[in-house]
Chains A and B, each alone.
Chain A
Amino acid sequence: MPRLLFEKTGNAVWISHLDLMRLFQRAFQRAKLPLKHSQGFNPRPYVAVALPLSVGVESVCELLDFDLDGASVPDDEIRDSLNRVLVDGVRVLDVYEDGQKIKNLALLDCVLTLEYDRGVPEGTAEAVEALFARPSLPVMKKSKNGPVEQDIIPMIRQLRVDQNDGHTVTLEARVCCQNPSLNPMQLAAAVDKYLPEFRPDFVKSRRVALYDAQGNIFR
């Protein structure tokens, strides 16, 4: 089954996961690339996004599996035809066959930007670095059965803290994204909880790369 790698940036970050699936279904239709439909009482065009992205989060490494009905179309042509009819912010970067099995997807790289409107307080980067060096870091997480506490440390593989300018601190992290998975915004939640004096005014999140369990780029 073919797969496409796409980015979701700018205005498009506000499109929810379900709306994004509909958006792609329509884009395929507009591009005259008929999708295979599911069987059954209420046939639906088949598209599947690997890791649903939270609303408001940017990404340059989204994966979408699809299956075309009818004659095969060259991968580059699929990419270009889709890009002609997609919305600003959603852009197909690559189309390829024989993507890896989604179950082997294990890690992702993310960048959190902590914004401080009145300037970054003295010692923020050091304090954040020290926080994630702790042996355990329980943070509340929403689950189906209400909030549960989750230790995020075992799910963080790498982490780097930088102060780029007077107003922002970035957190670059490689975290688990499947079985178990860590929502990168939980890193910001940990800062909020344990370092209230360094609580940022706003946090932006961006997903930058996907890996398998061995740390090889996942395609």
Chain B
Amino acid sequence: MTELLKRILPTVQKPARYTGGEFNEIKKDLASVRVRVAFCFPDTYEIGMSNLGMRILYGVMNEMDGVWCERVFTPWADMEQAMVENHLPLWALESQDPVKDFDMIAFTIGYEMCYTNILNMLRLAGLPLHSRDRNDLKNIVFAGGVCAYNPEPLADFIDFFSLGEGEEITVEIVSLYDRAKAEGWTKEAFLLEVAKIPGVYVPSFYRHEYAEDGTLARIVPLVEGVPTKFTKRIVEDLDKAYWPTKMIVPSTEIVHDRANLEVFRGCIRGCRFCQAGFSCRPVRRKSAKVLFDQAVETMEDSGHNELTLSSLSTSDFRGLKELTDDLIPYCADHKINLSVPSLRADNFSRDLMERLQTVRKSGLTFAPEAGTQRLRDVINKNLTEEEILTTCANAFSGGWNNVKLYFMLGLPTETDEDVLGIADLVYKVIKTWQANAVNKKRGLRVHVATAFFVPKPHTPFQWEKQITPEEYLRRCRLLKSHFYSKSITYDYHGPDLSRLEAVFARGDRRVGPVIEEAMNRGAKLDGWDEFFNYSYWVDAFDACGVDMEYYTTRGFGEDELLPWDPMDVGVTKRFLQLERKRAYEAKVTPDCREGCAGCGANCLLKEVDCDA
């Protein structure tokens, strides 16, 4: 660590997030390292260290001979200011060396509103923002994560994208770089070669042409022989996949300060607004036996006192009973708090929640997303009022008195009746409490929150309009005016951030300059309320002559070429269209276990069958 940094650290909040040195951090002898990777997470240490994907890939890369992968996070504003004032470039935690010294600079991108952080990190590292201005093989910038499924907003800045799950493709990419560096390839030569790895997309090899009306007309390959379709990569057999049992244990508190065990991948539910539900398919199992062993190994190695089982919908994990039957006694013996979020309101889950209560009583949270059964059918959220109320009744009679209910406003086909349906449902929950509560003196708290619907690529709603912020706020106020009980706390998300999310989720290459302009105007850490400033963005869109409405309220035509069409997540466009049609007919599509709906994602599997 430099003397300069030592002097800066006492002046910033939570300095431990900048020093590295945690338990299980990986250090290597530079003499034996051929490829240095700076793995950048475009948000703070506390968020990034809570990200499971980053922990897996950190382990995967560091398992490679001759490769040293180090971590880099977005500095908080006080540190950023100190860095700028003192000309201290962005550094990686393990070696404390500047990012600029690294061969490869990797980003994992899980959220559209961290795009300014990516550019800001490149700037703080002292690197040119634009891919075309970085001419050497050294400092090559690549990115993966959910946002890579529509990479176009970042096409100017990132040299290449890696699609899908990173366990295998990352090794192929880094190995190729190892060879390229040894043989002294140019950046161009490397890009040509890396583009041959399935799942790699090099945006500079294609030109996007637009029609008179502004829609995307053509995607023209500029280099002969480059692919025109990019299929995401997946790991087929999760039991054999790399799992980091020796995880870094942060020395300072992070957001999810606990061990995290992923129990399976994919989702059988098909909620029509949910990007993860479609883009993470097909469903792949992991066996309870392997999971239990990994849990024990992880807990013993890390010394954590909390373990969480994670997945998109843990109740749908086939081995849940077997795993929890083993884990609950183990955790009780070792005084480990076992948490199982993302449970559905079914009987087994209720029973499981009871059994988990031996340690601590957490809150009860439902995400009905919509207020009426009709609209829940439209979005294919298979959660009925009866299920919610039965679960609430059981919970209230068991002494709970705190419920959170999450909804979205602005969903396709939503009417005022649907909005008021939310109020109706909330009153039924209150009535259920009155009928079932064991101790009414403690009172009931119902937290209701509404979010502004953001249409996402690779979902049946990818073509949908987003309603205007004014209309969204009108619906919020309408709902608010129908909440009379003092038990209700109602929060609604501001529309500005969700509007920008909608722009960048479905953005094309023309929004790239807007991100750069907004960052230059001061936009950063947009996901943090204390920093989000909508006016930077409004000004940036104005300055770049880009119309937000084009990406939000306009909606996309089904016959339109979509910027993310070349990205293949397994689910076919035809299936998404079919699901959209069913949505408009308020027809539910049963979950994948009741019957395969034919989404197409099983075609990604060669060795195993879809576990839906």
Contacts and interface: CB of A to CB of B under 8 A. Distances in A.
Contacts of B334: 29, 34
Contact of B16 (A14, A32, A41): A14
10 contacts: A11-B20, A14-B16, A14-B19, A19-B251, A26-B249, A26-B302, A29-B334, A31-B303, A41-B360, A87-B21
Interface string A181-207: 000000000000000000001100000
Given A15-B252, A19-B253, A87-B251, A30 B20 contact: no
Nearest to A23: B251
Interface string A45-83: 100000000011000000000000000000000000000
Interface of B: 1, 7, 9-10, 14-16, 18-23, 249, 251-253, 257, 300-305, 334-335, 360
B532 to A, nearest CB: 27
A87 B20 CA distance: 10
Contacts of A55: 10, 15-16
A27 B586 CA distance: 54
Nearest to A202: B7
Listed from nearest, the 7 A-B pairs whose CB atoms lie closest are: A26-B303, A29-B303, A30-B303, A11-B21, A14-B15, A56-B10, A14-B16
A11 B10 CA distance: 12
A56 B305 contact: no
B interface: dominant SS: loop
A22 B253 contact: yes
Contacts of B335: 34, 37, 43, 45
Interface residues of A, number: 33
Contacts of B21: 10-12, 87-89
A16 interface: yes
A218 interface: no
A86 B7 CA distance: 25
B303 A25 contact: yes
A88 to B, nearest CB: 5
A54 to B, nearest CB: 9
B22 A56 contact: no
Contact of A25 (B7, B14, B15, B305): B305
Contacts of A201: 7
B401 to A, nearest CB: 15
A19 B46 CA distance: 13
A153 to B, nearest CB: 26
Interface of A: 10-12, 14-16, 18-19, 22-23, 25-32, 34, 37, 41-43, 45, 55-56, 85-89, 201-202
A56 B303 contact: no
A87 B19 CA distance: 12
Given A14-B19, A26-B23, 7 more contacts: A10-B21, A14-B18, A16-B252, A29-B334, A32-B300, A56-B9, A87-B21
Contacts of A85: 23, 303
Contacts of B9: 14, 56
B300 A56 contact: no
A28 B302 CA distance: 10
Contacts of A14: 9, 15-16, 18-19
Contact of B15 (A10, A23, A56): A56
B12 to A, nearest CB: 10
Contacts of B15: 14, 55-56
A85 B257 CA distance: 18
A30 B302 contact: yes
A26 B251 CA distance: 10
A25 B257 CA distance: 13
B570 to A, nearest CB: 39
Nearest to B17: A14
A25 B300 CA distance: 13
A42 B7 CA distance: 39
A87 B251 CA distance: 8
Contacts of B305: 25-26, 29, 45
Listed residue (B18, B23, B304) with the most chain A CB atoms within 10 angstroms of its CB: B23
A127 B301 CA distance: 54
A16 B251 CA distance: 9
A43 B336 CA distance: 11
A152 B335 CA distance: 46
Contacts of B7: 201-202
A201 to B, nearest CB: 8
A166 to B, nearest CB: 16
Contacts of B304: 26, 29
Given A30-B300, A30-B303, A202-B7, A19 B23 contact: no
Contact of A42 (B10, B249, B303, B360): B360
Contacts of B1: 11
A30 B14 CA distance: 25
A27 B251 CA distance: 11
Contacts of B22: 87
A30 B252 contact: no
Contact of B252 (A19, A27, A56): A19
B213 to A, nearest CB: 56
Contacts of A32: 300
A64 B303 CA distance: 18
Nearest to A203: B10
Contacts of B20: 11
